[in-house]
Amino acid sequence: MTSAVPSYDAALWATSKAFHDASRPHLLDRDHSLVAFNERVFSWATRTDVPVLERLRFLCIVSSNLDEFFEVRAEPHLTAQRSDDRQGTYTVDSFERLSEALHQLVDRQYALYNEALLPTLQENGIQLISHGERNPAQRRWVRQYFLREVRPLLIPVGLDPAHPFPQVANKALNFIVRLSGHDAFGRSNEIAIVKVPRVLPRIIRMPDKLSGGKAIFVALTSVIRAHLDDLFLGRKVDQFSQFRVTRHSDLSVDEDDVQNLRTALRQGLAHRHYGEAVRLEVSASCSEHLAHFLLKQFDLPQQALYRVAGPVNLVRLTQMIDLVDKPELCFSPFRASFPRRLDAATGIFDQLKQKDILFHLPFESFDGVLAFLRAAVNDPNVLAIKQTIYRAGTDSVMMDLLREAVRKGKEVTVVVELKARFDEEANINWAEMLESIGAQVVYGVVGLKTHAKMLLVTRREGNKLQRYGHLSTGNYNARTARLYTDVSHLTADAALTMDMEHVFVHLASQSRLPRMQKMWLAPFNLHSNLVRKITSLAQAAARGQSSRIVLKMNALTDVDLIDALMQAGRQGVKIDLIVRGACMLPARVPGVSDNIRVRSVIGRFLEHSRVFYFRQGAQESLYLSSADWMNRNMVRRVEVAWPVTDPEQRQRLIDECLLAYLHDGVDAWDMQADGSYQLASHNVAGGHSAQAALMARYGAERPARGKG
C-alpha cells in the first residue's frame, strides 16, 4: 500500500502573489491541492488489499476527476502561459508547475494500469487483448464486428482547402492518420481525421466460444486501428494515433443580459462541447509530426500534450467492470439499513411531533427521504410541498413523486438550479416536465446558485397548519445517496421550518428575508456568523478558556475563514479539520498553525457531509450545512447551515461524523507542515476505518468481503 503522496517541493506549494503580505502566512495553492487529492484517490488503485475491479474503478475515478479539473480549472493557467504573464494569481510559472504535477500523476496512472492492473486482471481470467494477441478466429470475429457495427458509422475526412480540420468535440475519441500515395484525384494530401461516434461502445466483450472460459475484451480503439487501411483504399497508412482533446466546459451565461435563463442555458449547452482546447491526449507512440500538427491545430503549448500508454480515456474502462460477472473481484455489496430511528410502521408526521430524526447516508438508506416525501404525497391533509433540486439525475423516483403530488392537487413549488455544473440538461428537462403539469417552478436568484438542500411539507392539522421539513448535506439523488456520505435531518421544529419557509418565499419572490431564528443563510450571514463563531472561541482561548473546533467538509479555500481559523489556533483553540479535497490552510507550521491538524479521509464512499462543531468550555454547538468553506459557497450561492440542538442527536453526529474520522487509522491522510499528506502512521499495525465501522454498524447484511 502506498504510504505517502509524493511531496512537492516548496515552490510547488507557493501561493499566489495575492496572498503575499506581512500579516498572512503563505497559503497552499488550490489547484495543486486538488492534484494532491487525486493522488490520494489514486492510492486506492494501488492497494493490493482492494479487489482488483475496484482498483480499476478508482483508477477510472481519478481520470474522471482529472477530466473535470481540466474542463474547469485549466483555462486561466493556459491564458497566463499564452500571454507570458509572470505576475498575478495565474502565471507562466504556475502553469508549468501544475503541468509537471499533472504529467507525473497521469504517468503513474498508466504505469499502474499496464504493470499491475492488467496482469492482475489476467490472473483472474479477464483480458483486454490487442490485435497482436488475438488468434485467427478472434481476428475474424473482430473484423466482422468492424464491418457490421463500426465501419458504417465512420467517415474519414482527408484534409485539404475544401476539407478543413473538422470540429472535434470535447473528450471525443478520434484518430489522426498520415497517408502516403495519392488520393482519387492524384493529390498527395497526407493528413486525415477519423471521428469515432460516441454511440459506439468503447469496450466489447468477445463471445464465450472464442474466449476459452475467460472474459476477453477488445477496445474499440484496437478494432479501428487494426482496420484503418480499410478506410483509405489505394493509400498506405504510414503513421496514426488516437487522440482526444479536452475543452474548457464551465458553462457561462450572463444572467443580467438574458430574457429567459432556461432558454439561454439550453442554447449554451449546444456549444459546450466546442469550447477552448486545454489538453491534448495522444498515444505514446504518436509521431512528433502528428503531435506537432495537432498542437498547432488546437493552439496548445507542448506542456498541454499528454502521451498515454493505453486508452486515451480510461474512464470508459468502467464499461468493462460492468460487463464482468465476477463478484469476488468487487467489494461485497453493501445494503444500507432503513433509517433505524424511523419507524416504517408508524406515521412519519406523528413521529416527528415527538422528536427530530437524523439518518446517516449511505450507511442508512435514502429510502427514509423517499418515505417522508411519499407520506406527504399520499396524505390528504398535506396541502403544499416545496423542494430545492440541485442534482436529481436523469431517472428520479423523487421527481415521479412530485409529479404525483401535482396530480393529487397539492401545491408543489420546486426551486430547480439550472446551473448545476454538468447537470444542466437533466435539470432543464425536469423543470420543463414539472411546469408542463402545473407545478410552480422557479430558478432561484439571478447571479447565485441555489445549493441548499431543503424539502418542506405543509399539513393541515385541525384548525392550524403544521410544517415538517427535511434538510440535507447532500443531493436529492438516489444514485449518489448510495455512494456519498451525507446527513439527512427530518424535523417539525417550528422555528427551523419557519426559517425554511422564509427561504422558499425569498427564492420565489426575491423579497427581503425576515430575521432568521435558527438557520444561517448564504450569501447573507453564513460567512459572517462562521467568522464570528471562530473569533468568539479565539477570544475565549486567549482568556484561558478551553476551546475546540472540529470541522468536516469537502473543501477549505475561503481566505477570510482560513485567516480566522489560523488566528484562533494561535490564540490556543485546538482545531481539527477533516477536509476531503482542496485545503489551502497550511497545518502544523511551527509558530503559525501549531494547533491545527488537517486530515483527509478517502474511503470506499465519497466523503460529502459538512459538519461544524464548536465548543467553548462546556458549551457545545454543532451545525450541519450544504456549504463547503469556499468563497463561491459563501458569496455566490444560496447555502444553509442549521443547528442540531438535541444533545443525543448531536452526540451521535460527533461520534459518527467527527470522532470516528479523527481516529481513522486506515483511510486517513494527515497534512504535514510542507503541505504534503502522509497516510495515518498506525495503518501498518492495522486499525480503525471510519467507513468500515459504520458499514458494520448499519449494514442490513454483512457478507464476507471479496478479494482479488
Check 451, 470, 489, 502 and give the catalytic one: 451
CA triplet 213, 215, 220: central angle to 5 degrees? 140
Three-state SS annotation for 345-366: CCCHHHHHHHCCEEEEECCECC
| Structural contact between residues 614 and 549, judged by C-beta atoms closer than 8 angstroms | yes
Question: Residue with C-alpha cell 468493462?
Answer: 320
Cell numbers standing for residue 589: 507550521
**Residues in CB range of 195: below 8 A, 6 or more apart:** 154, 155, 157, 166, 168, 172, 174
- For 1, the 3-state DSSP assignment is coil
Residues comprising the chain, all counted: 708
Cell numbers standing for residue 217: 475484451
Cα separation, 388 vs 521, in Å, equals 15
Q: How far apart, in Å, are the Cα atoms of 516 and each of 525, 555, 631, 642? A: 10, 26, 22, 11
**Residues in CB range of 240: below 8 A, 6 or more apart:** 175, 176, 177, 178, 225, 228, 290
Cα separation, 485 vs 605, in Å, equals 7
CA triplet 645, 648, 653: central angle to 5 degrees? 80
CB hemisphere CA count around 32 (13 angstroms)? 32
Cα separation, 408 vs 377, in Å, equals 8
Annotation marks residue 248 as catalytic = no
Three-state SS annotation for 605-674: CEECCEEEEEEECCEEEEEEECCCECHHHHHCEEEEEEECCCHHHHHHHHHHHHHHHHCCCCCEEEECCC
Residue 220: other Cβ atoms inside 10 A: 22
Cα separation, 193 vs 369, in Å, equals 50
Residue 22: other Cβ atoms inside 10 A: 4
| Structural contact between residues 312 and 243, judged by C-beta atoms closer than 8 angstroms | yes
Cα separation, 396 vs 378, in Å, equals 18
Beta bridge partners of 482: none
Cα separation, 433 vs 425, in Å, equals 12
Cα separation, 572 vs 708, in Å, equals 48
CA 231 to chain centre: 39
Cα separation, 383 vs 491, in Å, equals 18
Cα separation, 362 vs 352, in Å, equals 22
Angle between helices 92-112 and 30-46 (to 10 degrees): 10
Cell numbers standing for residue 658: 467527527
Q: How far apart, in Å, are the Cα atoms of 564 and each of 79, 99, 400, 587? A: 32, 32, 45, 14
Cα separation, 643 vs 189, in Å, equals 69
The helix (H) or strand (E) run that includes residue 178 is strand 174-180
Helices then strands (H, E): number in the chain? 21, 27
Query: Which amino acid appears at position 522 of this protein?
Result: A
Cα separation, 182 vs 195, in Å, equals 22
- Which residues are tagged catalytic? 451
